[in-house]
Amino acid sequence: MNKIILGCIVAVIIVLSGCSTNQENDISLDKEQSYVPMVNLNGTIYSSYSLTKQEKYTAGEVLGKIKKRVPSSDIQKENLTSNYYDEGTVIYNVSEDKEIFLIEESPGVYSVLKKLE
């Protein structure tokens, strides 16, 4: 009879430890997906708010390249840093609107960056 009780206790411990692991994973997944891609450009923070095809805006001159990918808490400190885009990602100005910038995600598809308010 002691073996049955011991077996039940072990089973309960295994089930409980499995549940707590799943809860931790769910929380960390939410944290990873809950941030907005941001870029520091000349001391101003811009956020990515949509993707667009090349036809909607004309990518103008190159303003710079991302120098470093940083945690969100460090984004406001350094020019040409991002919490999302990798080093070397090119930032373009836009002929149609001086308030936004483009970052090429893939050939012909750009992220639109607008000043974070």
Q: Is the dihedral of CA 60, 63, 66, 70 positive or negative?
A: negative
Distance CA 85, CA 66 (A): 7
Distance CA 110, CA 102 (A): 6
Task: Give the pLDDT confidence of 92-108 residue by residue, as tens digits.
Answer: 999 888 899 999 888 77
Residue 51 in this model has a pLDDT that exceeds 80: no
Token pair in block for residue 14: 């295994």
Residues contacting residue 44 through CB under 8 Å, at least 6 positions apart:
115
Better pLDDT: 84 or 109:
84
Q: Average pLDDT for residues 106-112, to the nearest whole number? A: 83
Better pLDDT: 103 or 23:
103
Distance CA 59, CA 75 (A): 24
> Could you tell me the pTM of the whole model?
0.65
Please tell me whether residue 25 adopts helix, strand or coil conformation.
Answer: helix
Beta strands in 54-95 (DSSP E): 59-65, 68-69, 81-82, 90-94
Token pair in block for residue 9: 């206790």
The pLDDT value recorded for residue 13 is 55
φ, ψ at 53 (rounded to 5°): -80, 160
